Amino acid sequence: MADLRPFRALSFNPFAIGNYANVICPPYDVISPEMQDALYEISPFNMIRLEKGKTYVTDDQMNNSYSRASKTLSEWIEKDVLIRDKDPAFYLIQHSFNSNGNTKSSLGIMVGLKLEDYKNRIVLPHEFTQKKAKDDRFSLMEHCHSNFSHIMLLYRDSEKKIVSVLNSLSSNPSDLSLSDSSENTYSLWRINDVPTIQAIQVAMEDKRLYIADGHHRYETALNYKSKYGEDRDPNDPLNFTMAYLVEFDDPGFSVLPYHRVIKGLDESQLNAIKNIVQTLFHIHAPEDGNNVHPTSLVEEIVKRGATQPVLGMFENSAPPRILTLKPDSFPQNESPIAKFEAWLLEKLILEVVLGETVDEHVTWLHNEVEAIDLVKSGEYQIAFLLNAISLELFEEIVDHGERLPRKSTFFSPKLPTGFTINLLNATTKA
């Protein structure tokens, strides 16, 4: 069963930092070097200094981004830049944002989640992880003994028992409210009422939790627990991680696709891709002809994808094409993952032609216009445009025990880092 616990969050002291919007930052894995520089400039208290500090050529084992994060954390606690809640709580957070001219809102709850091995089928992954990223997060956790950022998980609440409680709580005055320059508005409520906490805990007991974002952080937390949590009390903070839970049907929540653009192919590789496409796929011209706009091409892919797997393909040397799989072109596969375009693209084309060199040739992008522009510029040779996976298919694949190819999903919106910090080893003033 899913075990949720309230925790005493460490958060920014509004009287010490000025504008709260200036101290939060995006998730560490989407921060570019340029964004990192900008976040350093916007405030001396921006979370970037903890979550993804700068590295320097003079760094060594004793002085590096992780040691500086640890020092900064201690200083901010000592100077009351960060203050810890007196009472354990769940933290309800609402994110309102502009989406194509419409205001949408997503509602989730920040909790302490008991760490469970994947084999227990309580917390379910949907992708594999990379050692380098986990090593980075482990070093940060080992130096700072904290969760700076959360794991984002989805749960199914068919009867809306949990959702109705959260919606009711969000009608109360918030404990924190802020807006940023990108028309994002955030509101936070501390839930420390014991009966309400218990009601949420009971309602969550039978839920499976699906990792949407944060596989590396979750597995890092498992590794940290394994190294430092032996012989600890079961209720020790090391047995838990900070998690943000969102219901599958949340009206503001969506999943976006990752398109693939390919470069550096020699003539034989290009021909191999073209031969596979001709052999395994039906090739269709877009309804709008050769001068189709990227967005309308994606719209047609979405339309066709309602009934079958479909790919968009764009080269400078050929008209845009829409690809649908020929019957019997692929061995029968009972797994629902065989319905997913990104998996088909990887198994039928990319792995066959590129093998272990996929990373050398492929770039993953959300924006279809950017993907096609890169091909038009000559920098890349082929763009494959994909549908976003439906949440129903996502759930079906994960329930089946399968994992998606990397860069298959981009869950949106992503909650910034900096609203809550979870201390795992409270040996400081906090």
- Which domain CATH number covers 266? 3.30.1760.10
DSSP H or E stretch at residue 166? helix 161-169
Query: Do 95 and 154 share a domain, yes or no?
Result: yes
∠ CA 77-81-86, nearest 5°, is 65
Residue 121 lies in a domain: yes
Local structure of 225: helix, strand or coil: helix
Nearest one of 299, 257, 271, 307 to 412, comparing CA atoms: 257
DSSP H or E stretch at residue 151? strand 151-155
The arithmetic mean of pLDDT across residues 325-345, rounded, is 84
Would the pLDDT of 8 be above 90? yes
Would the pLDDT of 229 be above 90? no
Helix/strand number for the chain, H first, E second: 15, 21
Q: Is residue 291 very low, low, confident or very high in pLDDT (cuts 50, 70, 90)?
A: low
Report the C-alpha gap between 275 and 83 in whole angstroms. 62
Q: Which two tokens stand for residue 293?
A: 């706009």
Domain that residue 323 falls in: 255-411
Query: Do 242 and 333 share a domain, yes or no?
Result: no
The arithmetic mean of pLDDT across residues 61-66, rounded, is 96
Q: What pLDDT does residue 327 have?
A: 82
Residue 61 lies in a domain: yes
Query: Do 268 and 236 share a domain, yes or no?
Result: no
In angstroms, the first-to-last Cα distance of the chain is 31
Q: Which two tokens stand for residue 157?
A: 């609440």
Query: Do 108 and 52 share a domain, yes or no?
Result: yes
Q: What pLDDT does residue 234 have?
A: 86
Q: How many domains does the chain have?
A: 2
Residue 316 lies in a domain: yes
